[in-house]
Amino acid sequence: MKAINYYLVVEQIKEEQKKVAGLIMTEATDEEDRYKKAKVISAGDRIEGISEGDIIHYDKHAGSAITWKDDVFYVIKLQDVVIVE
């Protein structure tokens, strides 16, 4: 699977449970976060500065899910990326 133009194929990274003041935060609390963390599987040919294997943060409302070989990936636009680690 290969992304084209200004698109990225990413695999979401599930965040570990957080502890705040000794309390374990639930997954429902994570829904309040504005950005999702993901690993880049494929970067389009017009994208500079982001490559395969990079960890990014992108807007949680961006893109759409696709299933390929029983795995779920997300296709997002470059403009939805806010941070590259």
Q: Is residue 48 part of a domain?
A: yes
Q: Report the percentage of the chain scoring pLDDT > 90.
A: 72
Higher pLDDT: 22 or 52? It is 52
Which are the contacts of 25, defined by CB distance < 8 A and separation ≥ 6? Answer: 17, 18, 19
Higher pLDDT: 10 or 21? It is 10
Rounded distance between C-alpha atoms, residue 27 and residue 18, angstroms = 9
Read off the CATH number of the domain in which 39 is found: 2.30.33.40
Q: Is residue 2 part of a domain?
A: no
Rounded distance between C-alpha atoms, residue 78 and residue 64, angstroms = 13
Q: Is residue 80 part of a domain?
A: yes
Domain count, the chain: 1
Q: Is residue 1 part of a domain?
A: no
Per-residue model confidence (pLDDT) at position 82:
95
Per-residue model confidence (pLDDT) at position 1:
87
Q: Is residue 51 part of a domain?
A: yes
83 pLDDT more than 90: yes
Full domain range(s) for residue 43: 7-84
**pLDDT tens-digit profile of 43-60?**
999 999 999 999 999 998
31 pLDDT more than 80: no
Residue 76: CB atoms within 10 Å: 22
Rounded distance between C-alpha atoms, residue 14 and residue 52, angstroms = 18
